[in-house]
Amino acid sequence: MSVPHALSDASVVSCANCGLSLGSWAEYRHRIDQALMAEQVSRARRVIVADPIGSAMIDA
């Protein structure tokens, strides 16, 4: 993925390979949060997320 140097919630995130728009930075972070929460549900143990992209702190 490619993000602009001046990053805001409205910044456009795109595929670094093909340039396809992946949506705004806020939308991308929301999708990451949703994926992390879905992963948490499928695990018996807590998922620890150290990457600051996801804004949700996932607790079981």
What pLDDT is recorded for position 25? 92
What pLDDT is recorded for position 55? 52
Q: What is the pTM of this model?
A: 0.64
What pLDDT is recorded for position 54? 53
47: which 2 tokens?
A: 């998922």
Which residues, at least 6 apart from 45, have a Cβ–Cβ distance to it below 8 Å?
Answer: 60
Extract the residue ranges of the chain whose pLDDT is less than 70.
47-60
Q: Are 13 and 22 in contact (CB under 8 A)?
A: yes
What pLDDT is recorded for position 4? 85
Burial of 45 (0-12, 13-18, 19+ CB in 10 A): exposed
What pLDDT is recorded for position 50? 67
